Chains A and B, each alone.
Chain A
Amino acid sequence: MAMLQVDSINVFYGSIHAIKDVSFTVEKGEIVTLIGANGAGKSTILKTVSGLLRSRGGAIQFHDSPISAAAPHKIVSMGLAHVPEGRHVFAQMTVEENLEMGAYTRPQGEIAPGLERVYAQFPRLKERRKQVSGTLSGGEQQMLAMGRALMSQPALLMLDEPSMGLAPLMVEQIFDIVKELHKDGVTVLLVEQNAQMALSVADRGYVLETGKIVLTGNGKELLEDDAVKKAYLGG
C-alpha cells in the first residue's frame, strides 16, 4: 500500500468546483511532483491533504489510516508536514525559535538533535540562528520554512512552490536540498510551477489542468512529452 493514497477527491470553493475527482499516490521514498499552470489546483490539493480544506467525498489515506476528516494538527503529528506556499515564517521570532516551533508536536528531548540535523542540512540557517526571521532573504526564509517542517520529523514532506519568487541560483540550491533530503530517506510531494526543475528531480509526476489530472508518468517521460513541453516547458 502506498504511503499516501488520494482517492477521487472533490474540493469546492463556494460553488466553484476546484478539484475534480483527483486520485494519486505517493510511495515511500519517492519524490512525486504535481505540476500545472496557475489555478490548476495544485495548492488546493496539498491543503486538502493536510486538512486545511475538506474534500466532498473521496478518501485520503496516509500510512493506511484515513485522514480526510482529521484536524490539521493531528495530521502533522502523524508525520505529514506541509510547507505552505509563500514562505510563512514567524516573522518576529528568531530562526531558532521558528525551528523550535516546528518541533511543536514532538517531545522536548527531540528538539536539540532535530536542530542539529536541520543546521547540518542548512548551514546558512545556523549562521543566522539568532536573527529575527522577518529580516532573512527570500531564499533563506524558504529554507527556514523547510527546516521548520523537518523539525516535526515527517515521513512525508509536502512542499508548495518552494521556488516561487526566488533567484535562479537560489532555486537550484533549494532543489539540491530537496534531492539531499530525498537521499536521507524523506518522501517528498512537490508542487511546482517550475515544471522543468520539478520534473528533473522527481521520480514521478502528475500534470494538472483546471482541477483534473490529465497526464501522469515518470519524471523523464513527462520532460520529453510533447504536450508537456508545449504547455509548460516553452516548446
Chain B
Amino acid sequence: MRQRFEIPMPVRYLVNGVLIVLLFLLGQFMISAGILSSYFQKILLQVGVYIIAAVSLNMATGYLGQLPLGHAGFMAVGGYTAGIFLKNFPIKGLPAFILAIILAGIVAGIFGILIGIPALRLKGDYLAIITLGFGEIIRVILLNIDTVLGFKFTGGAAGLMGIPKYTSFPAVYICVVITCLFIHTMMKSRHGRAILAIRENEIAAESCGVNTTYYKTMAFTASAFFAGVAGALFASYLGLLVPGDFGFMKSIEILVMVVLGGMGSMLGSVLAAAVLTIVPFALQSISQTVADYRMVIYSVLLIVVMIFKPSGLLGTYDFSLTRIIEGLINRAGIHDGVARKGEQSK
C-alpha cells in the first residue's frame, strides 16, 4: 500500500517555530527600515489586540459552542486592571508591563469564573442575555467608581489617563503567539476533545464521563483570561481608557470577527480580526462619512456571509503549514522515490 508521507513531530515544531520567528523578523525589519509608517504601526498593534480578543472569544463561541456577548467586559476588566497597576506600581518598564499583562489576565479570568458558573447553567439566548448584562454592568461600574475611599480608581467618565505606553510590536506579537499556541495545544489535548464533545452533544459528553460543568467553566475562563490580556495591551497602547470603549458594540464587533471568520477556526478569527480592524482605517482614508457607516457595512457583510456560507468564511478549517507541505510532497511523488530507496536499502 502506498503510504502517506508524514513529517515527524519535532520537525513540525521546528518548521512552525521558524515561521513564527521569520514573521516576527519581517515585522521588525519593516518597522525599523521605515517601510511601515508610525500610522501603520499603530494599526498593526490594534490588529494584534483584536486577534487576541477574537481568538479568545472563538474558544467560547467556536469550540465550546456558547454565545457570550460580554467579551468587551472581560477586556475592560483586564484593561483597567493593567492600567491601574501600571500607574501605581513603583517599578516601571518591562517587568511591570509583563506583570500587568499577567495580572490583567488573572483578574479577567476570575471574573470569567464568577460569571461562568451561573451563566453556563444556561444555554443559547439565555447565556447571551446574561453575559450581555454582565458586560454592561462592568461598564457602568467602571463609570461610577472614579474614586474609592479617596483613592483615584478608574477616573470615571473622563477615563483613566496617563497609563504608561509600553505596548510595542514585539510585545503584541509575543502575546498573539502565546495566545494562539496555548489555545491550539489545549484544543489538541484531551481537554480540547472534551470541550469539542460538549459542543457536539452535551448529553453524550456527559454520558461519556466528561465533567461538563468543569470544562465549560474552564473554557470560558481561558477565554476571559486572554480577553483580559488583550485589554491590557489595549490599555498600554492607548494610554487612556474610557468605559465607553468597552460597550456592547465592542462585544458585537469581536463576535462579528469570530462568526465571519468561521466559528471554530483559529485562522478564520485571525484573518477576520485583521481585516475588520484594518477596514475602518481604510474607509477613513477614503472619507469620514463612509467610516461612520462601517457598522452598516458589517451587518450587510454578516448577512451576506450567513446566506452564502453559514459556517463562516473558513468554516472549521484550521491552517496547518506542515499539512500543506505534506500534501505537496505527496502530490509531487517525491516520497515514492524516498520510499523506494528505503526498501532497497533493506
Contacts and interface: CB of A to CB of B under 8 A. Distances in A.
A73 B209 contact: yes
Interface stretch (A56-64, A78-86, A219-227): A78-86
B200 A90 contact: yes
B203 A84 contact: yes
Interface of A: 50, 52, 71-73, 76-77, 81-84, 88-93, 97, 100-102, 104-105, 145, 148-149, 152
Nearest to A158: B207
B196 A93 contact: yes
B209 A152 contact: yes
Contacts of A50: 207
B194 A84 contact: no
A84 B316 CA distance: 28
Contacts of A92: 200, 316
Contact of A89 (B190, B201, B206, B211): B201
A67 to B, nearest CB: 13
Contacts, number: 64
Given A90-B197, A101-B197, A77 B209 contact: yes
Given A90-B196, A102-B208, A104-B208, 17 more contacts: A50-B207, A73-B206, A82-B207, A84-B207, A88-B203, A89-B201, A90-B200, A90-B205, A91-B200, A92-B316, A93-B200, A101-B197, A104-B190, A104-B197, A104-B210, A148-B204, A152-B208
A217 to B, nearest CB: 30
25 contacts: A50-B207, A52-B206, A73-B206, A73-B209, A76-B207, A76-B208, A76-B209, A83-B207, A84-B203, A84-B207, A88-B207, A89-B201, A90-B196, A90-B197, A91-B201, A93-B197, A101-B193, A101-B205, A101-B208, A102-B208, A104-B209, A104-B210, A148-B204, A148-B208, A149-B207
A104 B198 CA distance: 13
A22 B284 CA distance: 70
Nearest to B209: A76
Contacts of A82: 207
Contacts of B190: 104
Interface of B: 190, 193-194, 196-197, 200-201, 203-212, 316
A100 B209 CA distance: 12
Nearest to A93: B200
Contacts of B197: 90, 93, 101, 104
B34 to A, nearest CB: 48
B205 to A, nearest CB: 8
B193 to A, nearest CB: 7
A48 to B, nearest CB: 14
Contacts of A89: 201, 204
A145 B211 contact: no
Contacts of B194: 104
A50 B206 CA distance: 10
A88 B197 CA distance: 11
Contacts of A91: 200-201
Given A101-B193, A104-B194, A73 B200 contact: no
B210 A90 contact: no
Contacts of A84: 203-204, 207
B181 to A, nearest CB: 23
A148 B200 CA distance: 15
Contacts of A76: 207-209
Contacts of B208: 76, 101-102, 104-105, 148, 152
A89 B196 CA distance: 12
Given A88-B201, A89-B201, A73 B210 contact: yes
Contacts of A97: 193
A83 B206 CA distance: 10
Nearest to B201: A88
A102 B205 CA distance: 9
